[in-house]
Amino acid sequence: MTFFTNPLNLVTLFPLVGVLVILLFKQEQKKEIRWTALIVSLITFGLSIWVLTLFDPNNPDLQLVINLSWIEIADWEISYQMGVDGLSILLVLLTTFLTPISLLSTWTAVEDRVKDFMIFFLLLEVGMLGVFLAQDLFLFYVFWEFTLVPMYFLIGIWGGPKRMYAAVKFFLYTMTGSVLMLLAILWLGIYQGTFSVPDLTAMGGIPAQVQLWLFLAFAAAFAIKVPMWPLHSWLPDAHVQAPTAGSVILAGVLLKMGTYGFLRFNIPLFPKAALQAAPWMALLAVIGILYGAAVSYYQKDVKMLVAYSSVSHLGFVMLGLFALNPQGIQGGILQMVNHGISTGALFLLVGMIYERRHTRVMDDFGGLWKVMPVYGALTLVVTLSSMGLPGLNGFAGEFPILLGAFGSEAIGSPWYAGLAALGVILAAVYLLYMFQKLFLGPLDKEENKGLKDLTVRELVTITPLVILIFWIGLYPKPFFTLMAPAVEKLLTIIETASLAMY
């Protein structure tokens, strides 16, 4: 395959076609700009489905690989190397799925500088897809840093009253962690002689005494992005100030770049360090689960509540990944997807009510079910999904995570699973509290009595997410099938490292 015919290149770079077309429009041509961005994002989603049809779920190795010489300096060779496997295929699909949904949500919400907004959003999609597909450390770093720029402008230009504070905080936090990761990448490139992730994994020759330092350097970047407690403080500000579409893509995809980083780099490249760090990572994950749930309950702003809930839900993902067994890792990967669907849907629903009332304070609502029954029913489904009700997608991810954590030799104690299970109960408390404040009780606020139910466009926006909530909850097997061989291959690396340690 050539550069221009490789399916992974097409799906990653096709949004740039939309950027070039939109540049030809004038700022006043808002309708044409919106439709161009939406159509391009839908075609990109179609290309990702094509990639799925070419993907062999029984093959644990990288597939559809493209590996071209890119930069040569002395003895260094940096490659343009892309590939997809069971660890990344679902995240590629999630990215291309959420992008058109996010763009459709901006139809009436974004009226100022629509041209610039759509350009930044399509550029962000390119960066996110590149992160999940890059198989060269330098190329990965380029895509990783590239995502900062469009997200910074999406928050800083189209965000809320404190948008610049939130945008700068987001940028500085992420950049700080990225510098440490860059130093680790340079060390690997110099002393191992390659930046290729498959080659580094196959070599397995990174000295044990160095692995922990490299693990921590990569973890600094990824833990901030997740975000793990106590590095989470940038997230609520970014979520609350971001426009609705920005919040959806931030929760749905950008946070998964952090958890994916641990899965793709920290665990396979530094397996001995991963085994050493597993109990501590599990501890931080459980603290994040309980802390995020507790703080969510005390929020007055519904968007802030959903933002803090991400700290709790991503704690489950990290607990599953560092259980370092099949149940935990597969549950963690599926929960990345589940969180993107459920929390993305919650942010969409919050945005819909904010467009009508221009407030997110829960005390300003009450009794909405009486005037917005369709909106109430869909919000109830998404709320139950987020709290892990059996039969919905949240349960399909959380149950194997708890199962994996309970029997994990790497973590070393079932108490982590027990405390995480308490987080499930706390999630039910704050989410049902939110639902009760918004939808139940008397309809005693005059401003709420004339509210209109969801429009056709809003139904089209939210319905695909609701369908996936039921699909994954009732029949998650296809999703586990896609990732199983790659997870087994990853665990072989962990097992080999474990035997070498003892």
Q: What pLDDT, in 10s, does the model give residues 9-49?
A: 999 999 999 999 999 988 888 889 999 999 999 999 999 99
In this model, does residue 499 exceed pLDDT 70? no
Mean pLDDT of 363-371: 86
> 263: burial class by Cβ within 10 Å (0-12, 13-18, 19+)?
buried
What is 423-468 written as a DSSP string?
HHHHHHHHHHHHHHHHHSS----HHHHT-----HHHHHHHHHHHHH
Distance CA 458, CA 325 (A): 40
The 3-state DSSP class for residue 82 equals strand
Across 173-180, average pLDDT: 86
* Burial class of residue 142 (count of CB atoms within 10 Å of its CB; 0-12, 13-18, 19+): middle
Report the helix count and the strand count for the chain, using DSSP H and E: 23, 2
Contact 459, 317 (CB under 8 A): no
The answer to whether the beta carbons of residues 352 and 243 sit under 8 Å apart is no
The gap between the terminal CA atoms of the chain, to the nearest Å, is 44
pLDDT surpassing 80 at residue 263: yes
Short-list 276, 339, 173, CA closest to 497? 276
Mean model confidence pLDDT for the chain = 89
- Which 3-state string (H, E, C) describes 290-313? HHHHHHHHCCCEHHHHHHHHHHHH
Mapped onto helix, strand or coil, the DSSP state of residue 344 is helix
Q: Is the pLDDT of residue 129 over 80?
A: yes
- Confidence category of residue 72, pLDDT binned at 50, 70, 90: confident
Identify the residue whose tokens are 């790497």: 410
pLDDT exceeds 60 at position 150: yes
User: What mean pLDDT is predicted for residues 76-100?
Assistant: 91
Q: Is residue 2 pLDDT above 80, yes or no?
A: no
> What would the pLDDT profile of 451-467 be if each residue is shown by its tens digit?
888 889 999 999 999 99
- The answer, yes or no, to whether the previous bond of 478 is cis (omega within 30 of 0) is no
What amino acid occupies position 301? D
Task: Identify the band that residue 1 occupies on the pLDDT scale cut at 50, 70 and 90.
Answer: low
Rg (CA), the chain: 22
- pLDDT above 70: percentage of residues in the chain: 98
Q: Which whole number is the average pLDDT over 343-347?
A: 92
In 3D, which of 433, 462, 440 has the Cα closest to residue 373?
Answer: 440
Residue 76 phi, psi (nearest 5):
-85, 140
Q: Which two tokens stand for residue 408?
A: 């994990």
Phi, psi of 49 (to 5 degrees): -65, -35
Average pLDDT, integer, range 400-425: 89
- Is a pLDDT exceeding 80 seen at residue 214? yes
Residues 436 and 369: beta-carbon distance below 8 Å? no
Q: How confident is the model at residue 199 (pLDDT cuts 50, 70, 90)?
A: confident
